[in-house]
Amino acid sequence: MYTMNAKEYDEKVMNGFFKKVYPVIASQIVERTQITEGKCVDLGGGPGMLGISLAKITNLQVTVYDLMQECVKLVAKNSLENGVSHKVNAMQGRAEEMSFEDNSIDLVASRGSVFFWEDQPKGLSEVYRIIKPGGWAYIGGGFGTAELLKEVNEQRSADPEWKEKRKHRMKKNPPEHFVAILKELEIEGVVEWSEEGTWIIFQKPKTDNS
Ligand SMILES: C[S@@+](CC[C@H](N)C(=O)[O-])C[C@H]1O[C@@H](n2cnc3c(N)ncnc32)[C@H](O)[C@@H]1O
């Protein structure tokens, strides 16, 4: 079971080392998917800065959905501080068993979480289930650009364990691992890999009415 100190993560990481990363990734997601309105889930969003960054540049209504109950309060604080509390809410729950209805969400965005899911195929099939036909998933982990990754690495140079842990996670979750899961689930999508990160990207096929 995943554990972290959510308050410390919020202060030191989300609003510290990684602060610049979320707006960059949010812009990349919007550019790629062209989704700017409707419902968005920031899955495994922790204290919520990816979802908040998406809410700042779109008309999306964002639900930050995370395993840890503590994140609900932290999302409320961060969305208030960022002036988007009317567009962002938070719920506690697991990726593998989400409480959203079938075909109800326009965009599922998720950063830095899939690597920790206990059952990745189940989580990804849940993502597919809740997305509307024509909706998108953008799931993985990364730092936006190679330059931002370099900056984060420099800031975290005092903590060699961090680099090692990331290397270990990437080794355990190579792109072909996610390609195989998509194939097994019969989801048509791509897995994009670069130094910056790994992203699983797919659009649920449109139906005649969508
Ligand atoms: C490294 S943090 C990343 C947080 C945030 N998305 C970010 O980019 O900074 C991983 C997050 O995934 C959440 N998580 C881990 N396993 C999960 C699961 N099975 N379902 C939902 N959330 C999960 C954790 O609670 C944690 O908030």
Per-residue pLDDT tens over the stretch 70-125:
999 999 999 999 999 999 999 999 999 999 999 999 999 999 999 999 999 999 99
Distance (Å) from CA 18 to ligand 1 centroid: 14
- pLDDT number for residue 68: 96
Protein residue with its CA nearest to atom 1 in ligand 1: 112
Distance between CA atoms of 154 and 49, rounded to whole angstroms? 22
Q: Is the pLDDT of residue 31 over 90?
A: yes
Atom of ligand 1 nearest to the CA of 6: 27
- Under 8 Å between Cβ of 133 and 28: no
Q: Give, in order, the Cα–Cα distances in Å from 98 to each of 15, 48, 151, 163, 169.
A: 27, 17, 35, 31, 24
Distance (Å) from CA 183 to ligand 1 centroid: 24
- pLDDT number for residue 1: 66
Mean pLDDT for all residues in the chain = 95
Q: What percent of the chain is predicted at pLDDT more than 70?
A: 99
Task: Classify residue 89 as exposed, middle or buried by CB count within 10 Å of its CB (0-12, 13-18, 19+).
Answer: middle
Helix, strand, coil tally for the chain in percent (to 5) = 45, 25, 30
Q: What percent of the chain is predicted at pLDDT more than 90?
A: 81
Protein residue with its CA nearest to atom 13 in ligand 1: 44
Q: Is the pLDDT of residue 62 over 80?
A: yes
Distance between CA atoms of 95 and 65, rounded to whole angstroms? 8
131-177 tens-digit pLDDT: 999 999 999 999 999 999 999 988 888 887 888 888 888 899 999 99
- For domain 6-203, the CATH superfamily is Vaccinia Virus protein VP39 (3.40.50.150)
- pLDDT number for residue 210: 67
Distance (Å) from CA 148 to ligand 1 centroid: 21
Distance (Å) from CA 54 to ligand 1 centroid: 17
Smallest CA-to-CA distance from 35 within 109, 130, 141, 103 is with 109
Q: Is the pLDDT of residue 65 over 90?
A: yes
- pLDDT number for residue 2: 72
Name the residue of 28, 52, 113, 199 whose CB sits within 8 Å of the most ligand 1 atoms, as the mutation to test its pocket.
Answer: 113
Locate the DSSP E strands across 143-207.
189-194, 197-203
Distance between CA atoms of 119 and 114, rounded to whole angstroms? 9
